[in-house]
Amino acid sequence: MNLWSTTILTTRVGALIAFGLCAFTHMHGGLHITEFLADNGGSQLDSDGDASDWIEIFNSGPENVDLDGFHLTDEKEALNRW
């Protein structure tokens, strides 16, 4: 892995951690980022056979949590990319 790939991966991981620590503090449910893969180089294929990046959010609270309006991104210019 070259320096550029390492920098991008570190930035993505940092953004996901910040998202997990800050984004859900006002909600009733206990949401946790339990798994994520920020740079899938083909090691994990999804049901379509694609090597997609992914995130798993677990709700440990008793109530449903509406995630409408929340987004993930890796680009400052596209804040609602996913």
- Delimit the domains of the chain by residue range: 1-82
- Predicted local distance difference test score (pLDDT) of residue 52: 78
**Residue segments in the chain with a per-residue pLDDT below the cut of 50:** 27
* pLDDT the model gives residue 8: 59
Predicted confidence at residue 10, as pLDDT, reads: 61
pLDDT for the residue 1: 54
The β-bridge partners of 32 are: 58
The strand ranges marked E within 1-82 are 31-37, 54-59
pTM of the predicted model, to two decimals?
A: 0.50
Alpha-carbon span 41 to 50, nearest angstrom: 10
